A and B are shown apart, each in its own frame.
Chain A
Amino acid sequence: MKEFRPITKARDIAAGGSVLLSEKTIAGAENAKTFFSRTGNMTIFTLQTFRQTFSLPFEFREFLKQCFELGNRSLPLVAITGAIMGLVLTIQSRPILNDFGAESMLPQMVAVSLIREIGPVITALICAGKIGSGIGAELGSMKVTEQIDAMEVSATNPMKYLVVTRVIAATLMLPVLILFADAMGLLGSWVGVNIKTDLNIVLYFSRAFSAVEFIDFLPAFIKSFFFGAVIGLVGCYKGYNAGRGTESVGIAANSAVVLSSLLIIVVDLIVVQITDILI
């Protein structure tokens, strides 16, 4: 049997009455309230970060350090992932192209797939795992151990020092990592092609790039900045707003990865739709 709880609605207050809502409805309303409250907080955090980005002084040394931490330290992971991505895509595509008698189109197909979609999205998802969780855990542990408070009382703006530097570093480093992953992917693809045939690397790349135009490259390059901003912002937001106790550090890292991965897919969908309309 359903349980009902009397809830006084605004419109009934004038009439002096109340209505009955089921527990399920009340729980649904609470969930909706939580969702909108979190979305609002995230939006405010994003706007604050944006505002702090354009106010002086800029923490240049910390920004460079973060570029090194987020960019350089992610290179091996991105390189291996990119190479395997290209290799697997080549091996998987070859039989189908062979059926259509279009095996010679393999470099072109892999290049377009990698540069337009697979390279940016897969690399961004990998970076969401590495960079997003790293930022979430780092800022989360700083929050739990009062290091952020210590920074604030020593007259340093933690939003500027911790958040702005990481968000800008992630925004600028992700396109570089994606370009690197694309290059490694094409190299992996060349290795994949050479498993069954013998194709010169120069010929492979000239064929691959014959199918790629600037208009294929541009939207992918632009969206990679947004992917970077999403990873940086979500990681910082989750870490900066971590609760108390060591448990919340793990929660911050985990939720940073989950939310940024989801948002990367959403941003990708939006950019693809916009590109489809404009081009």
Chain B
Amino acid sequence: MKEEADNREPAGTGQGEKVIQIRDLKKSFGAQHVLKNVSLDLIKGENLIVLGKSGSGKSVLIKCIVQLMKADSGSINVLGQEVEELKPKELAELRKKVGFLFQSGALYDSMTVKENLEFPLRRIKKGLSEKEVREKIMEALQNVGLESALNKMPSQLSGGMRKRIALARTVILDPAIMLYDEPTTGLDPITSQEISALINDIRNKYHTSSLVITHDMPCARAVADRVMILKEGEIYAEGTLQEVQKINDPWIQSFFKD
């Protein structure tokens, strides 16, 4: 299996415009090699799922894409720009086009829901009138079905609501690419389904390309166009969900056991 993966072209090689291209990415923390030669492509408009056990380097991978972590070696090309070579201002410009949903939601505790949505909007979409800002906030909240939470503080929201507000805060900026870090972790099955549906809705409505990091199979089944499996920092398998499901490997099969 491992050899097959090594000989294979990077995940996503095929038709369509590539919005993210990662080649030979390596990242270590001391003696611990978290990512070893990871290569992948994200095609415009698709949902790519990166599956893997906890600690397999999934979150490190997407944090390297937006430069929250620096890779040791390899190249990351996002929307035609080599992120490692960008100056701080250029990186800030690129980040405006990439939405990132954090595992914890990362809502600003000291701000209301409205202020949480306003904060990035006023900084990135400068020149919007008060009316336009209000309309955009309400539209984003309608998308996630939480218009009533407008004036609530994050501490008054449930885990699922916080995730949905965090999603609204990211989507309000109309990003070209969405990166989801464990979007359904810690949520009940029904809320997880709702979040998975929202991921699909956002792709359909805003034509975003999405990289979803998860180990939640119902979520993967609901949103995946393609799947890539990470094992110990390396790409272990890749393909459509059906293709990966058919691979006769006990470790891969353990993901698909209900």
A156 vs B110: C-alpha distance in the bound complex, in angstroms? 16
Tell me the smallest distance from the CB of A157 to a CB of chain B, in Å: 8
Complex contacts, A157 vs chain B, CB 8 Å = 92
Does residue B50 face the partner (Cβ distance < 8 Å to A)? Answer: no
Tell me the smallest distance from the CB of A220 to a CB of chain B, in Å: 34
Does residue B173 face the partner (Cβ distance < 8 Å to A)? Answer: yes
B104 lies within 8 A of A153 (CB): no
Does residue B123 face the partner (Cβ distance < 8 Å to A)? Answer: yes
Does residue A146 face the partner (Cβ distance < 8 Å to B)? Answer: yes
B104 lies within 8 A of A145 (CB): yes
Q: Which of B63, B96, B98, B123 has the most CB of A within 10 A?
A: B123
How many A-B contacts are there with CB distance less than 8 Å?
50
A154 lies within 8 A of B102 (CB): no
Q: Which of B63, B68, B104, B106 has the most CB of A within 10 A?
A: B106
Tell me the smallest distance from the CB of B37 to a CB of chain A, in Å: 25
Interface residues on B, range: 20 to 34
Does residue A261 face the partner (Cβ distance < 8 Å to B)? Answer: no
A155 lies within 8 A of B124 (CB): yes
A154 vs B101: C-alpha distance in the bound complex, in angstroms? 11
Which residues of B from 28 to 79 have beta carbons under 8 Å from A?
63, 66, 68
B104 lies within 8 A of A146 (CB): yes
Complex contacts, A149 vs chain B, CB 8 Å = 63, 68, 100, 102, 106
- Can you list 24 A-B pairs, Cβ within 8 angstroms, ordered by A? A138-B110, A141-B109, A142-B109, A145-B104, A145-B106, A146-B102, A146-B104, A146-B106, A147-B108, A150-B100, A150-B102, A150-B106, A152-B95, A153-B66, A153-B68, A153-B100, A154-B95, A154-B120, A154-B123, A154-B124, A155-B92, A155-B93, A155-B95, A155-B96
Which A residues fall within an 8 A CB radius of B?
138, 141-142, 145-147, 149-157
Which B residues fall within an 8 A CB radius of A?
63, 66, 68, 92-93, 95-96, 98, 100, 102-104, 106-110, 119-120, 123-124, 173
Contacts A149-B68, A154-B96, A157-B92 given; 20 further ones with Cβ under 8 A?
Answer: A138-B110, A145-B104, A145-B109, A146-B103, A146-B106, A147-B107, A149-B100, A150-B102, A150-B108, A151-B108, A152-B68, A153-B66, A153-B95, A153-B98, A154-B95, A154-B123, A155-B96, A155-B120, A155-B124, A156-B119
